[in-house]
Structures are given as structure tokens and as C-alpha cells.
């Protein structure tokens, strides 16, 4: 079994530049801050990038909003797409879980910031009355949020209907808040996974110590299991004890 022993603290890694510099912040004109990143080919880390393009450039590549966008840039379920050192910690933690007899089902790892942008703005147009005419563009996403009616003029109704198709396609109808433009997922530093086991789970932490997880629930929300995850640098997201499948490098 591969064991992950963190030698350097995460702030130190950030200082060393391994986590990339802090994100760029842009005002999207609606009182929200847009933070954008681009994937650095060398380090496979997301780094800040100005997302604004001149409108003429966008028009030449225009592709109207609608359901066809949903199948593009799908969210990965592969731990190999995660950023180091989080990836090593996650893979060691999952190996330990499976070796102990737990079932681990991964629902999401790396989410493309472009997909996050599409989800965020489709949701806000439909649920928060965001104006399709003023959605800020994102570099590399040639979506046009506005649609025309039969008279060839801008149709607010058709624009909202197209955004609604995307909200359905992304399965966000029941979502109570806009999906984040940037999260630990878009940086490759988060994983959603369902974890289940029977009886007592005897699992090794990253220090090679066997921990007997005898408490309930026998799921990823178990506090004893959270301590084991921490030893691998995989931190449980604790939203008031809700059974959320989200783990990340910093608990966010």
C-alpha cells in the first residue's frame, strides 16, 4: 500500500508557488466577483487569467446557449486529473479504504472552470433573474446567452428558455445556490465520493496506524473517518454534519 506522508504544509507549498498565485478578481458588473483561471500546461495548475474578450471576437465564434453545452467539458471522475500533492493523498486514502473493505464511488474530481461558468450563469439567469444581455464572457467559451425572436430582435423569453434547458441538463433544478465559478474542484483539489462499509472499519491512516472506526454512520460523514482522511491531507467538508460527499485539500 502506498502511504502518503505530508512533508510540507499546504501554506508552504503555496508560498513555493506549487499552488499557483492567488486568483485574479474581476467585477462582473452585478456586484459579484468573477475569479478566473487558466490551466498551466507545465504544472497542470490553474493560474489566474483575464477572461474578458472583445465582443467582436466572440461574435465570430458565436454558439447560442442551450442544452448542447451540457455534454461539453464533462466533470472528471478520475483521481489522475487531481493536482499534486492532493492527488497522492486521495489515492492513498482510497487504497486504504478499499483495502479495509469499504466501497468508494467517485462522483467528481476536476471540474473544468468553463463548465463551472456555464452552470453558474445558466442558474443565475433562471433563478436570480440575471440579465442574459449582461452575462460576462469567459475566455475560450464561445457561448452567446442571448436569443432572437421571430422578428429578429432580442427575445428575453427565448434567452431564459435556453438557459432553463441548460439548468435541466446540468441537473440543477433543485439547487438552492449558484454553483461556484471557482471551487476546490476547478483547481483539482476536491473530490466527491460516496463511502460505505459494514460493521467496524479497520483502516490504516497515513502513519501506518490501524484505526478501528466503530461509530456510526458508516459513511463518509463519520467523524472518526474524517480524522483518518486528515492524515492523508484529505479534509472532510463539514456542512453542519450533512451527508455531503465532498472532500478537499483544505476542507472548503
Where does this chain bind Zn ion (CB under 5 A)? Answer: 190, 192, 246
Closest CB to Zn ion belongs to which residue? 246
Closest CA to 231 of 1, 6, 2: 6
Closest separation in Å from C-beta 111 to Zn ion: 8
CA distance 129 to 33: 17
- CB of 72 or CB of 239, closer to Zn ion: 239
The answer to whether the beta carbons of residues 34 and 28 sit under 8 Å apart is yes
Minimum distance from residue 185 beta carbon to Zn ion (Å): 6
Shortest CB 89 distance to Zn ion, Å: 16
d(CA 246, CA 251): 9
**Of 164 and 236, which has the nearer Cβ to Zn ion?**
236
Q: Tell me whether the omega of the peptide bond preceding residue 217 falls within 30 degrees of 0, making it cis.
A: yes
Which residues on adjacent β-strands are paired with residue 103? 196
28/249 with CB nearer Zn ion: 249
Distance CA 138, CA 141 (A): 6
Long-range contact set of residues 24-33: C-beta below 8 Å, sequence gap at least 24: 24/48, 24/49, 24/50, 26/50, 26/51, 26/52, 26/136, 28/136, 29/134, 29/136, 30/130, 30/134
CA distance 245 to 113: 20
To Zn ion, the closest distance from the beta carbon of 52 in angstroms equals 28
As measured in angstroms, the least distance from the Cβ of 191 to Zn ion is: 7
Identity of the residue, 89 or 137, whose beta carbon is nearer to Zn ion in the bound complex: 89
Residue with cell 486504504: 96
Query: CA 17 to CA 47: how far, in whole Å?
Result: 11
Nearer to Zn ion among residue 47 and residue 109 (C-beta): 109
What minimum distance in Å lies between the beta carbon of 106 and Zn ion? 11
Pick 112 or 165: Cβ nearer Zn ion? 112
Q: Nearest distance from residue 211's CB to Zn ion, in Å?
A: 24
Amino acid at each position: 500500500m502506498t502511504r502518503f506522508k505530508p512533508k510540507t504544509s499546504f501554506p508552504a507549498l503555496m508560498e513555493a508557488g506549487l499552488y499557483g498565485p492567488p486568483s485574479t478578481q474581476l467585477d462582473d458588473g452585478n456586484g459579484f466577483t468573477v475569479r478566473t483561471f487558466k490551466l498551466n500546461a507545465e504544472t497542470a495548475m490553474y493560474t489566474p487569467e483575464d477572461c474578458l474578450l472583445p465582443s467582436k471576437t466572440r461574435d465570430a465564434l458565436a454558439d447560442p446557449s442551450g442544452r448542447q453545452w451540457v455534454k461539453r467539458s464533462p466533470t472528471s471522475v478520475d483521481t489522475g486529473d487531481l493536482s499534486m500533492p492532493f492527488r497522492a493523498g486521495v489515492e492513498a486514502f482510497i487504497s486504504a479504504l478499499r483495502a479495509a473493505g469499504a466501497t468508494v464511488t467517485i462522483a467528481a474530481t476536476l471540474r473544468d472552470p468553463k463548465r463551472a461558468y456555464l452552470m453558474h450563469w445558466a442558474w443565475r439567469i433562471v433563478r436570480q433573474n440575471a440579465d442574459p444581455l449582461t452575462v460576462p464572457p469567459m475566455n475560450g467559451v464561445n457561448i452567446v446567452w442571448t436569443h432572437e425572436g421571430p422578428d429578429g430582435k432580442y427575445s428575453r423569453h427565448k434567452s431564459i428558455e435556453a438557459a432553463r434547458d441548460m439548468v435541466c441538463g446540468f441537473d440543477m433544478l433543485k439547487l438552492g445556490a449558484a454553483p461556484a465559478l471557482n471551487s476546490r474542484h476547478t483547481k483539482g483539489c476536491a473530490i466527491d465520493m460516496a463511502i460505505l462499509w459494514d460493521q467496524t472499519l479497520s483502516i490504516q491512516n497515513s502513519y501506518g496506524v490501524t484505526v478501528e472506526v466503530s461509530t456510526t454512520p458508516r459513511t463518509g460523514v463519520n467523524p472518526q473517518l474524517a480524522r483518518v482522511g486528515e492524515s492523508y491531507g484529505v479534509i472532510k467538508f463539514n456542512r453542519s454534519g450533512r451527508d455531503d460527499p465532498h472532500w478537499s485539500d483544505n476542507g472548503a
